[in-house]
Amino acid sequence: MPESIVIPAIAADGSLYPVEKMKAHVEGLQHLAVSVFVFDGDKLLIQKRAQAKYHCGGLWANTCCTHPHWDETIEACAARRLEEELGFSLPLTRHQTVDYSADVGGGLHENERVTLFSAQADRSQLAILPDEDEVEAVRWIGADELQREMRETPFSFTPWFRIYLERFPDLGFDQL
């Protein structure tokens, strides 16, 4: 189980209040999150989550994602997580915020208001240093290949990544 982290949950009136991360996932409380997508041209960097993760271990996901700490901005959170999980930093572009809800197994539920971020990188110049406690593997993939793999083996991908690809099939955030 992960350490106790306090994240921003969203009240019925839209205001934020602090909640322990696991409580948010057990009770399905709506909360803030970020998802980062790093591209090299038309290729997306995806990660396979470490087997020991508290949910969705061993599944492929977008470049990285997490929850802001209670006292952290969305932008700082996205930059922090990219560095923590993959060992590099890039200028991030903020896109729209989307809501989704998904059962992630083990009695846990994601009910997230996610701000999407993207970055462009030159993979020949990018030193990726994954944290082995967080990331089992990384690879670059194009939208067509990703769509095909998701059709053929949907459950090798996290529920939220499947939702993102359903909403944005060509991974084109310029449409947001």
Q: Indicate the annotated binding residues for Mn(2+).
A: 25, 31, 67, 110, 112
56 catalytic per annotation: no
Distance CA 109, CA 38 (A): 26
Which residue ranges are tagged as binding site for Mg(2+)? 85
* Residue among 56, 64, 77, 112 flagged as catalytic: 112
Would you give the end-to-end CA distance of the chain in angstroms? 35
Q: How far is CA 86 from its chain centroid?
A: 13
Q: Is 112 a catalytic residue?
A: yes
* Positions at the binding site: 25, 31, 67, 85, 110, 112
> What is the token pair recorded at 57?
């271990």
**Dist. CA 109–CA 68, nearest whole Å:** 17
Catalytic residue among 56, 64, 65, 77: 65
Kindly list the catalytic residues: 65, 112
